[in-house]
Amino acid sequence: MERVFMPRAEAAMERGTILQWFRQEGEYVKQGDLLVEVEGEKASFEVEAPHGGTLRKILHKEGAEVAAGEILALIGSADELLPEEFSSSNTSSVEAKHDENQMPEERRINISPAARKMAEQMGVDYHKVKPTGPQGRIIREDVLEAYKAQGDVISQSQITEAKQSLTLEGPRRLTVERLSKSFRESIPVTLNADILMAKLQMLRENVRQEKKIHIPIDAFVLAAASRSLEKHQILNSTFNGDRIMIHEEVNVGVAIETQKGLIVPVVNDANKRTVLEIAKELSSFVDLASSGKLPASALDNSTFTITNLGHLGVDSFIPIINPPNSAILGVGRISRQAVIDQVDRVGIAEKTTLTLVFDHRVTDGAPAARFLSTIKEILESPEQLPM
């Protein structure tokens, strides 16, 4: 009897939600046939049958939240007997038995992986939590109730009745978890730089007229940042305990808003790409994200992040570092502002503000300032970028 497991499709994935089963129990499947669609922490993906045979048992219904590594289904011959632990009366014990490395004391506590993680994050002793799940299982709602009982959450009597209650799930939940961790652990320092955009705007207009291509500002900023990362490699790093891991590859994530929340697809080897290649990939990310078809693999392995709120009229803002990155660059709107030149003449110029937030555990202000200065130099003389 072959087992189908919940894959860890993303590096940060702890659990997935069953969206849709494509096959029913008793159906014959071939190796590679689509079995089930799963929503991970960042994107949805499909799980194929690892072996051919009859789909003998589906262990989790649609809508169920399943930890990575748990068993989803069983495939075998039509007349093969189900293992005893997967019989109808014992199916509920599957989740409790999936982790063979648990300590004996933890085996006696029937708690879901999601609930255990929540308890650890909230500082709740799950040994004292009253279970309400099936077969005496502690679920996430139980942990939340225990947390409220500790007095760390505002009681219902202290707040007005909510118009709508939104459950944190999928990409939004991952955003909350990752950025909360970053805010708690990193030591953020913020630097700002104003960029004169006249030459870059002229270059964009020339490309639009000559090649009929619209290049977004993000493509130029990403190209400039990736080349600055080549020169100032300490910003292309990850803080790991007592070590700073400087990455060889320059993989830049770009924050994109979707209906399901914020996602950060990654342009790999960005320092080796032309501006047009970057623009094309960013356009592809937006199209795939809008249709919900962006693969999970596109969201991993970033070494630096860029986020732009300028198109929403924001002059400048201070973003939160996207772990495991050590820095993030915020891009504000382009606006016409008064400037004074070197001979004290007043004029009007197009400018934008870049905001660099970096982890002080990784580097100091001067190296970070030089990194930001290099980006400024490139953007104010964009002809040096490969188109």
What are the tens digits of pLDDT across the range 195-239? 999 999 999 999 999 988 899 999 999 999 999 999 999 999 999
Q: How many residues does the chain have?
A: 387
**In the chain, domain spans:** 2-97, 104-158, 171-384
The pLDDT of residue 157 is above 50: no
**Which of 90-99, 118-127, 141-150, 349-358 is predicted most confidently?**
349-358
Residue 208's pLDDT is what?
Answer: 92
The pLDDT of residue 94 is above 60: no
Percent over 70 (pLDDT), the chain: 84
Residue 53's pLDDT is what?
Answer: 93
- The answer to whether residue 98 is catalytic is no
Q: Which two tokens stand for residue 145?
A: 């109730």
Stretch 142-150: mean pLDDT, rounded? 77
User: Among the options 127, 214, 311, 360, which is catalytic?
Assistant: 360
The pLDDT of residue 347 is above 50: yes
Superfamily name and number for 104-158: E3-binding domain (4.10.320.10)
Is pLDDT larger for residue 368 or for residue 145?
A: 368
Residue 103's pLDDT is what?
Answer: 39
Buried b / exposed e over 139-156, threshold 16 CB at 10 Å, is bbebbbebbeeeeeeeee
Superfamily name and number for 171-384: Chloramphenicol acetyltransferase-like domain (3.30.559.10)
Residue 229's pLDDT is what?
Answer: 97
- The answer to whether residue 341 is catalytic is no
Stretch 54-72: mean pLDDT, rounded? 89
Compute the CA torsion angle 183, 185, 191, 195 (nearest 10 deg). Answer: -60
Residue 119's pLDDT is what?
Answer: 80
Interval 11-45: pLDDT, tens: 567 788 888 898 999 999 999 898 998 877 666 77
**C-alpha distances in angstroms, 181 versus 174, 177, 234, 308, 314?**
11, 6, 21, 22, 26
Is pLDDT larger for residue 297 or for residue 332?
A: 332
- Tell me which fold the domain 2-97 belongs to: OB fold (Dihydrolipoamide Acetyltransferase, E2P) (2.40.50)
Is pLDDT larger for residue 43 or for residue 70?
A: 70
Residue 89's pLDDT is what?
Answer: 43
Stretch 55-84: mean pLDDT, rounded? 89
